[in-house]
């Protein structure tokens, strides 16, 4: 029983270290984008939303969604993959690349609005 508890504790610590490392890597990448103002800005066809898109390396992409005329981030998405060549605005979502992880619902869900507040 003690061995199982010990292994569970070690596993929890390893997972926590991995999560902290990945989150820290993302924070550094996002801070580089902010420091260098490396965003491209796109406006939705109906004019209601503004999308800022930036990349720090060939494989790390970051996009932030705002309501037009407001500076509060309402959705934030980080994803790995190739640089997108086109922003696709749909009635209920915006896609930056072909993968599902690069899509943001319009209007954003409560979870997307909440996670956009994180550093």
Which one-letter DSSP state was computed for residue 27?
A: H
Instruction: List the domain range (segments joined by +) for residue 31.
Output: 2-115
Q: How far apart are CA 21 and CA 23, in angstroms?
A: 6
pLDDT > 90? residue 104: no
Higher pLDDT, 57 or 11: 11
The CB density around residue 44, as the number of other CB atoms within 10 Å, is 16
65 phi and psi angles, rounded to 5 deg: -110, 135
Higher pLDDT, 82 or 20: 20
Q: If pLDDT is split at 50, 70 and 90, which confidence band does 12 have?
A: very high
Total structural domains within the chain:
1
pLDDT tens-digit map of 62-98: 788 999 888 888 998 877 766 666 788 888 888 876 6
């Amino acid at each position: 029983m003690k061995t199982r508890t010990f292994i569970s504790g070690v596993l929890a610590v390893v997972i926590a270290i991995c999560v902290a490392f990945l989150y820290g890597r993302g924070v550094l990448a996002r801070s580089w984008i902010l420091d260098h103002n490396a965003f491209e800005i796109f406006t939705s066809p109906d004019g209601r939303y503004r999308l800022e898109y930036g990349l720090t390396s060939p494989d790390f992409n970051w996009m932030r969604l705002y309501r037009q005329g407001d500076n509060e981030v309402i959705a934030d998405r980080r994803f790995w993959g190739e640089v997108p060549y086109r922003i696709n605005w749909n009635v209920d979502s915006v896609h930056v690349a072909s993968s599902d992880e690069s899509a943001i619902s319009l209007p954003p869900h409560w979870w997307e609005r909440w996670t956009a507040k994180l550093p």
